[in-house]
Amino acid sequence: MGMFKRSTVALAAAAVLGLGSSLQAQVFFQGSTSGCFNPVAGTCGGSPSVPGVSFSGDTFIGNTAPITNLYAVGGSAGQSFGSFTVGTGGEVYANLPFLLNISFLAPFGITPSAVYTATLLGSASSIAGGGFFIDFDNTVKTYTYTAPDGGGTFTLGVNDVSVTGGHTGFVSGNIIASPEPATLMLVGTGLLALVPVIRRRRAMVSE
């Protein structure tokens, strides 16, 4: 195989890898949350607040990062899984149940669209200094999606939260996507199809 032919295959392979990276960097999520203390039968039949502590639902929207396919949620209003605000009254809690609902399109823009809802249980307790700690069920949840241009899987995980008295703490977590675009598969198939063509041309040149 001549230098030009080898370069052609190398460039085509690079194009496939570049396409894969580009597609993976475009996985886009958006959603919102709600929650309540003292849930009833696994649903929010309780209240988003108890004496001294209140929960506020929030929204999140963004893309996964290139290479890592990670989308980190949390840390500020408008980009979290919700927030807890703790007063300064020093209320005492022990194993107070809390339920967090996360509803989102995953990934956003897929046709037909699909709404995913994650329900996570937590247990809240008081900590020293009038603080508040909630221990979530940190089991990573895995979802699978399909789409005309490919599909894939993604995982969702939520972190525990610790808030000192008189402050607000945001619920954070991670979404990690593993797209399997059909387009990438088709391009890869096309690259393989180049091999016999190159061989035939090489044979013709040799005759």
Per-residue pLDDT of the chain (207 residues; tens, 9 = 90+): 553 333 333 323 333 333 343 344 467 889 999 999 999 988 998 899 999 999 999 999 988 898 889 999 988 999 999 999 999 988 899 999 999 999 988 676 676 677 889 999 999 999 988 899 999 999 999 988 777 767 788 899 999 999 999 999 999 999 998 887 554 443 333 334 434 444 444 444 445
pLDDT, residue 59, reads: 94
pLDDT, residue 203, reads: 46
CA 206 to chain CA centroid, Å, is 54
pLDDT, residue 182, reads: 53
pLDDT, residue 207, reads: 53
pTM, 2 dp: 0.74
Distance CA 156, CA 63 (A): 14
pLDDT, residue 19, reads: 37
pLDDT, residue 53, reads: 95
pLDDT, residue 74, reads: 87
